[in-house]
Amino acid sequence: MTQFDELYRTAILKIMNEGFDEYNERTGHYTKIIPGLTFELDKGFPLLTLRKIPIKLFIAEQIWYIMGSNNPDDFVNKFTKIWEDFTEEDGTIPAAYGYRWRHAFGRDQLGLLIQHLQGAPGSRHGVVITWDPREDGLGNPEAKKNVPCPFTWTANIIANKLHIHSVVRSNDMMLGCPHDVAGFYLLLCILAAKLGVKPGKLTHTISNAHIYDIHYKQAWELVERTNDHPPVHFEAQENFYDRAEKGDESLVPEIAKLLESNYKPLGPISGLKIVL
């Protein structure tokens, strides 16, 4: 199996066997939870092969984030409708990740990150924040429909490679985690190409790693699977970042084709429904 397949399968098995059984008031579901889970991924593109992952979905999301838009109709809704449940009446998502990276807090964090690491590749100040402490979390009664799960990430150039550490407050392990890991690694590859360095390690840390009660059967099905799959290879081009900034729709199928050329996943697992 690939590196991510093995680590992910082990994590799911650990949660199912050792996770704490907790009731979640917001969703009305029971979950099995492990506090504090980390993946370290540096051998190939971490695209889960134990079940098929919708590739174009996370590609379109990352391009939309790089654009810095808070309106899904600008780009991502042309490829997936999963953000419709989080869209406010005015058609925007105020907490859209890319919007926070590029327009919130008075700074273009993503643009400044690239500029900063180009001039000071040894810097340890490459921090990007998604969470807005003025309005996110802590039971805010005026909270919007979407509260960021990946709330911060850091970028470091070490040994001529770009390494990203993403920190996620909450991850639905059966649906959200594989999607988020693939998305962040794609971001890592695109930024590395823009900076003229190689892609390095993605460290993905989850504060609350949980499996919902309606996914228990599917979790046991997944841990029974194995797949003799070599590492998934992917190489971003230097112009991918600039094209993403401009919202180039042709970039989605182009990246998807590169990934699909060496991605041979097992079949889907039925009955996996999103819990909102």
The CB density around residue 70, as the number of other CB atoms within 10 Å, is 23
Token pair recorded at residue 102: 């590029």
Beta-bridged to residue 152, according to DSSP, are 129, 167
Angle at 204 between CA 45 and CA 208, to 5 degrees: 135
- Choosing from 149, 190, 193, 223, the catalytic residue is 149
CA distances from 183 to 22, 34, 113, 264 (A): 28, 22, 18, 18
State which H helix or E strand residue 60 sits in: helix 55-67
Q: 25 with 33: CB under 8 angstroms?
A: no
Rounded distance between C-alpha atoms, residue 112 and residue 225, angstroms: 43
How would you class 37 by CB atoms within 10 Å of its CB: exposed for 0-12, middle for 13-18, buried for 19 or more? buried
CA distance 119 to 121: 6
Whether 149 is a known active-site residue: answer: yes
Please give the positions annotated as active site: 149
